[in-house]
Amino acid sequence: MTELLIPLLRCPVSRSPLRLEVIRYGKKVYNGAETTIIKDGILFSDSEWFYPVIDGIPRLIVEAVIDYNDFLSTHLPDFSQRRDVLVTKNSLLLASVQQKNDRTKKSFAYEWKQFDYQQDRTWEADKPQMFERFLTETDETATSINGKLIFDAGCGNGQLNQLIAANGATVLGMDFSRSVEQAFNENTEANALFIQGDVQFPPVASEAFDIVHCSGVLIHTNNTKHSFNCLVPCVKEDGKLSVWLYHPRNNAGHRFILLLRKILTRLPLPLLYWICRWILFPFAFVVKRIKGNKQPARELMIDILDQFTPEFRWEHTHEEAMSWFDQQNFYHTRVTTSNIFGFNITGKRRKV
């Protein structure tokens, strides 16, 4: 991370600004020039909450004190006392986020670990197609995003963030799992920033962003509408919120997949990964080839993991999503794209 990021960050629980203590600086190449970055550090809130910066990435998840125990115990002399106070005062919250988040973090980390940045496309789109899809979904142009501050809540492999930054915007990419590490490492754009965070506890300043973009993420949380509501405060007045959701599909093949998901998502993740790789993948590969679809094997494997490994997968009608925007006092709400799998919907936020 760089100093540019600090004013945008907030404690995901207390919502207070964060104070940084640097442990170690490092170097990273952005736009062809070597830049000094904050490699490791600790971010402190005004309350008992604190969060590590590890390998250049702020780890702003509620359960960071548990997930990154080893790093914090090494670099924070009074860690044990701080941890005990935090855990004692917030035991129920920590238990609940661990319960809802653990499997999701692991499944998406494994999914994006398969991605090859040199060869693979993202959801069958190359880089120009990916950027055009973003512009269409958000109802923007390459010119209109120039100079804007964008929050990509659920950035996945981070490729889109580099494309957005290359077109003159500053974009903060956030992902829940440790896949954000690969996104950060591959990034070469100075205005593409990355953090680890939870859409239900967004660790960013309120009313800060011109555009909040959340594509295919909310439907993989335990409650889509609640997650949507948690992102609303991040949007500035007259700013735009853009979300992509699955919609219901009424056909036998889709109903079979949903039934299969109900069975598979109850299995331990290692067993489920084995089934995906050695049973579902060979079957899907043969079917696609018979149909003439030559999707590369690794891209197909990522699709299968995305379909069957997430713990949560919800579907919503266009009207239902429209009502969420209406309840949060948005205007100019409209569906910008719709295909066989899902749809994107955007709205602008009225003055609070």
Residue 352 has pLDDT above 80, yes or no: no
Q: Residues 79-132: pLDDT tens digits?
A: 999 999 999 999 999 999 999 999 998 898 888 788 888 888 887 888 999 999
Region of residue 284 (left: phi > 0; alpha: psi -120 to 50; beta: else): alpha
Cα 59 to the center of its chain, rounded Å: 13
The secondary structure of residue 278, as a DSSP letter, is I
Question: Could you give the angle at the alpha carbon of 143 between the alpha carbons of 193 and 138, nearest 5°?
Answer: 70
Structure tokens at 16: 């207070």
- The residue whose two tokens read 């100093």 is 3
Residue 328 three-state SS = coil
**Nearest alpha-carbon partner for 121 in 322, 330, 300, 319:** 300
Q: In what order do the strands lie in the sheet with 33-44?
A: 19-30, 33-44, 50-54, 57-58
pTM for the predicted model, two decimal places = 0.94
Structure tokens at 127: 């880089």
Q: Residues 241-264: pLDDT tens digits?
A: 999 999 999 899 899 999 999 999
d(CA 157, CA 173): 10
d(CA 62, CA 67): 10
Q: Are 230 and 200 in contact (CB under 8 A)?
A: yes
